Structure 1
Amino acid sequence: MERLLEIENLHVSFQTFEGEVKAVRGVSFHVNKGEAIAIVGESGCGKSVTAKSIMRLLPSPQAKIKQGSITLNGVNLVNKKEKEMTRIRGFEIGMIFQDPMTSLNPTAKIGEQISEGLLRHNKISKKKAIEHSIKMLEIVGISQPEKRINQYPHEFSGGMRQRVMIAIALACKPNLLIADEPTTALDVTIQAQILHLMKELQLKTNTSIILITHDLGVVAEMCSRVVVMYAGEIVETGSVSEIFANPSHPYTKGLLKSVPRLDMLKQEKLSSIKGTPPDLLEPPTGCSFFPRCEKAMKICGEYKPGFEKTGDSHHSACWLHHPMAKEESTC
């Protein structure tokens, strides 16, 4: 398949009063045209920082891309100036942010917020932009769009505000849609509606999607491939079927065990991963998951593991995959 986005060896740091926080460390992955992939991991693992790096929305001068490339349709976005990125945001890349209430402008009408991107990127009149905005509200399933277009965000429910965010992100028909926790704080019924809507729109428009989430149920519903992140690094990648049926990295196994299942017995308790992620002011020299891993070996704390192929498209960064490792070894 033809690749739309390719990230190679991305390093992102934040300068703080305490020192340099190495939030993203050597991340590499790609997205094919028309494909939906998921980036999963617990809070603070670098998912959102990676997404905002693609959009070049990191706070400046605190955050800095120290190394690596972000290539969209063969063009490296890292070297783009702000004026050039303004033309790319919304037009080639759309983004659905975590909280629509804080992402939408409370003082501007919904129609103005949807049409803003249309007016910026297309040579059309304000009347045409509003007409297209009404059409976008219809597409995302909001009733009475002619009326709703003149209302403010506080007049919408949480699910409706999220639909408006999707309408804004897709208004200019971008090639890539980044959805950062799009179902956070929504009830399960609205979550299902939003996911169904995104999947339907992807199939209709052939838009590529990067879904950032910690909800593995959402991943199974939406995506074909999964990228698992921990402490600013990728620890495992593979197809949804490979990751769910045969997880290779101990961290991925821990994530899957912490998800409730329909076949669980009433007396069974959900598993949890003991400990906390490492301090990224001083990242560990070896495997970042070493202090929390039940199958850790001495080498894990001293040297960083390389990626080993464990399936057709399945790769995992763990010393347990080394031919000389014994699965039962613990320390």
Structure 2
Amino acid sequence: MEVKDLHVSFDTYGGEVKAIRGVNFDLYKGEALAIVGESGCGKSVTAQSVMRLLASPPVRYKQGSIIFEGQDILKKTEKQMQAIRGNDIGMIFQDPMTSLNPTLRIGNQIAEGLRKHKKLSRHQAQKAAIEMLELVAVAQPDKRVNQYPHEFSGGMRQRVMIALALACNPKLLIADEPTTALDVTIQAQILDLLKDMQKKLGTSIILITHDLGVVSKMCDRVVVMYAGQIVESGVIDDIYYAPKHPYTKGLLNSVPRIDMDREKSLTPIVGTPPDLFNPPAGCPFYARCKDAMKVCQQHQPVMEDMGNNHCAACWLYHPLAQAAGK
């Protein structure tokens, strides 16, 4: 999949919220890509744009394209998108309790997509639902398939969501903060399960999260977002051990580490993100950056190539800044 120069806005009574502003990234077959950043940076809007789940209006896809297997998602009709959602692209949402229908049995919810996309009979779909629950390690799947969401724990509901998303063997799975509401032990189980499913089914994964620990366990590449833009991207090792953008460095410095000195406190990123009703003309991180220069306030930085497909949008790495010894 290729996302090219994507611009997404929300039309509100207060004006236009420029939620996504020129996002570009690629996803390769069988790869796990993380999109990270603080709340409000545009991670979930990007993911939901890929699925075309955002109601229009108020959403406007102003510019750009989302090329999935050679076809532009943004040019598809709603009927065409219904054939893609759940079939070619699956999604795990943040809160399984609100994503699952409380009035339907678990088996029926998993079977619905199988009957629609794979044209299975009711009996075949029910059998396949039991197999999916067994695949995601739900105990007694033949019994649990007839239960309702409220009869499952939070971790079990998330397993059901994974089963539902993977039921039709999609080529792409989008996991939007799948472990946010879970405790640490269950988080680890869910991540191991996703990794195992990826190996078994060969599914590509986009993981949306603000937890950098989750990313290190799951993903091959990382895209760092801030204020609706990508500020840095690269493979895991480059992002974790050789971060370039000041925002990426700030994120890493604010994460607790097991080898950290007990006397040393975490270093937060001071300030708040910019107002996307009226985004800044220059670098969106300018007001919070200790390395900011005058050019940062006036002009948008371009992506600079650091080698090995590691890129950062920062004036510090522009050839002229390097020549000046900044």
Give the TM bin, normalised by the shorter chain: over 0.9
Question: How far apart, CA to CA, are the structure 1 residues paired with 2:319 and 2:90?
Answer: 44
Say whether residues 1:290 and 2:297 are aligned partners: no
Q: CA contact under 8 A between 1:93 and 1:177: conserved in structure 2? A: yes
Q: Tell me if 1:47 matches 2:57.
A: no
Task: Report SS of the residue matched to 1:325.
Answer: helix
What TM-score do you get using the length of structure 1 for normalisation? 0.97
- Give 3-state SS (helix, strand or coil) of 1:204's partner: helix
Quote the Cα distance in structure 2 between the aligned partners of 1:328 and 1:168: 54
Tell me which residue corresponds to 2:197: 201
Q: 1:328: how far off?
A: 8.0
Greater shift in the superposed pair: 59-68 or 294-303? 59-68
Structure 1 CA distance, aligned partners of 2:91 and 2:215? 18
Instruction: String of CA shifts for 1:233-284, please: whole Å, max 9, x gaps.
Output: 0000000000001000000000000001111111110110000000000011
Aligned residue type for 1:136: M
Match of 2:179 among 183, 207, 221: 183
Residue of structure 2 in register with 1:125 after alignment: 121
Q: Distance in 2 between matches of 1:60 and 1:284?
A: 26
1:140 to 136, 153, 156: 136
* Corresponding letter in the other structure for 1:155: E
Which residue of 1 is the match for residue 96 of structure 2? 100
Residue 320 of structure 2 aligns to a residue in which SS? Answer: coil
Q: Which residue of 2 aligns with 1:162?
A: 158
What one-letter code is carried by the residue in structure 1 that aligns with 2:98?
T
Alignment partner, residue 266 of structure 2? 270
Q: Does 1:24 align with 2:20?
A: yes
Aligned partners of 2:26 and 2:100: how far apart in 1? 30
Mapped pair 1:252 → 2:251: no
For 1:223 and 1:216, the matched residues in 2 are separated by: 10
Q: C-alpha separation between the residues in 1 aligned to 2:193 and 2:181? A: 17
**CA separation in 2, counterparts of 1:297 and 1:7?**
30
CA distance in 2, matches of 1:308, 1:123: 48
The aligned amino acid for 1:37 is L
Question: Which amino acid in structure 2 is aligned with residue 23 of structure 1?
Answer: A
1:117 alignment partner, SS class: helix
Cα deviation 1:271-305 (Å, max 9, x = unaligned): 10000000000011100000000000000000001
Looking at structure 2, the residues matched to 131 and 181 of structure 1 have their Cα atoms a distance apart, in angstroms, of: 29
The whole-number CA distance in structure 2 between the counterparts of 1:126 and 1:25 is: 45
> What secondary structure, in the 3-state scheme, does the structure 1 residue paired with 2:182 have?
coil
Cα deviation, residue 122, structure 1 = 1.2
Cα deviation for residue 80 of structure 1 reads: 0.4
1:123 deviation in Å? Answer: 1.7
* Range 262-271 or range 317-326, more displaced: 317-326
- C-alpha displacement of 1:58: 0.4
Q: Secondary structure at the match of 2:243?
A: coil
User: 1:275 corresponds to which letter in structure 2?
Assistant: G
Q: Specify the alignment match of 2:312 in structure 1.
A: 316
Contact persistence 1:285–1:303 (CA under 8 A): yes
Gaps in structure 1 of 5+ consecutive residues: none
Residues 38 and 212 in structure 1, CA contact (< 8 A), matched pair in contact too: yes
| Distance in 2 between residues matched to 1:171 and 1:233, nearest whole Å | 33
Query: 2:173 aligns to what SS in structure 1?
Result: strand
Structure 1 distance, partners of 2:318, 2:87, is 45
List structure 1 segments (4+ residues) > 3 angstroms apart after TM superposition: 326-329
Cα distance per residue 1:15-69 (max 9 Å; x no partner) = 0111000000000101000000100000000000000000000022101111100
1:225 aligns with 2:221: yes
Relative to structure 2, which stretch is displaced further, 227-236 or 53-62?
Answer: 53-62
296, 308, 311: which one pairs with 1:300?
296
Q: Distance in 2 between matches of 1:161 and 1:45?
A: 27
Paired with 2:156 and 2:96, the residues of 1 have a C-alpha distance of: 9
Using the TM superposition, give the Cα deviation of residue 313 of structure 1 relative to its aligned residue in structure 2, in angstroms: 1.3
Q: Under a length normalisation based on structure 2, what TM-score does the superposition of the two structures give?
A: 0.98
1:96 is displaced (CA, Å) by 0.1
Percent identity reads: 64
What 5-or-longer segments of structure 2 have no aligned partner?
none
Q: Secondary structure at the match of 1:227?
A: strand
Does structure 2 retain, via aligned residues, the 8 Å contact 1:295–1:328? no
